[in-house]
Every structure is written in C-alpha cells, then in structure tokens.
Amino acid sequence: MSVITDYIAQQPEKPEAVRAHLTQMYHLIKGLLPDAYERLSYSMPAFSTTPQGTNIVYFAAAKKHLGFYPTASGVVHFTTELDAAGISWSKGAIQFPWDHALPIDLITDIVKFRRSEVETGPRKDTENEE
C-alpha cells in the first residue's frame, strides 16, 4: 500500500462514490504521472516531482465532493471547459460532486497541462496566478 491508498482506505464508505471516485482519481493520475512521487501534502494526496519537490496536483475527499487541486494556473487555463461542463471551481480548486461521474478527459488534460508546466516552467499568461 502507498500513503495515498492508505488515505483512500481511511475514508468513509458513504456516500458509496467516495472511495470509488478517490480510487479512480488515484489510478488516473498515477497512470498519467508514473514517475511522480506520491505523498501527503497539506493532509491531501499529492503527486510531486521529487520526494520534497514541486507538487503537480493534489486531490482530497470533502463532505459533498472530491476536491481536485491543480494549483491556480491549472484552474485558470481550463475555466472555459469547467464552466461549459457546469463544474464548480475557485482559484486553485475544482469540485467534483460525489453523485456525478468524474470528467476523465478534462482531468487528463489538466494533469498533462500541470506536468508540462512543472517540467518547462509557467506559461506567461498564468505565471502570476499562484
């Protein structure tokens, strides 16, 4: 088991989607970032460049949603898509309700964006957003 799978196992079983969504998110991100380090940061599962390096994305269980934290730049870059899908978001957070399927394609695009951004540095249009 990893620190993230331990986190998932400790979450409540109700609503039923909590562990299922967390597990799905974990496997999706793990598949997209196979070389990333898994850790807890701010008490949330996080994928980072090194054991103490830059966090690429975080996620966590909340009462009514799965919180996804791709940093401010990861949200700003995808506000049009988030709004079109009716997904709630704020400066550095995206909320996926437990009673909705995860938008896999959008999450994939966001994770790929963040991976690229971390590898190459922030884009000029988002570098001051964090």
Q: Are the C-beta atoms of residues 55 and 92 closer than 8 Å to each other?
A: no
Q: Per the domain annotation, does 31 fall within a domain?
A: yes
pLDDT in tens, 34-58: 999 999 999 999 999 988 889 999 9
Q: Per the domain annotation, does 22 fall within a domain?
A: yes
Q: Per the domain annotation, does 129 fall within a domain?
A: no
Structural domain containing residue 54: 3-120
Q: Per the domain annotation, does 116 fall within a domain?
A: yes
Distance CA 69, CA 3 (A): 18
Q: Are the C-beta atoms of residues 15 and 98 closer than 8 Å to each other?
A: yes
Confidence of residue 129 (pLDDT cuts 50, 70, 90): very low
The pTM of the full predicted model, rounded to 2 decimals, is 0.90
Residue 100 is part of a domain; what is its CATH number? 3.90.1150.200
User: Residue 84 pLDDT more than 70?
Assistant: yes
pLDDT in tens, 58-78: 999 999 999 999 999 999 999
Q: Per the domain annotation, does 13 fall within a domain?
A: yes
Q: Per the domain annotation, does 88 fall within a domain?
A: yes
Q: CB count, 10 Å around CB of 86?
A: 7
Q: Per the domain annotation, does 130 fall within a domain?
A: no
Mean pLDDT of 91-116: 97
Q: Per the domain annotation, does 14 fall within a domain?
A: yes
Q: Per the structure block, which two tokens stand in for 108?
A: 């994939």
pLDDT in tens, 2-34: 999 999 999 987 777 899 999 999 999 999 999
- Considering its fold, how many domains does the chain have in total? 1
Give 43: exposed, middle or buried? Use CB within 10 Å, 0-12, 13-18, 19+.
exposed
User: Residue 96 pLDDT more than 60?
Assistant: yes
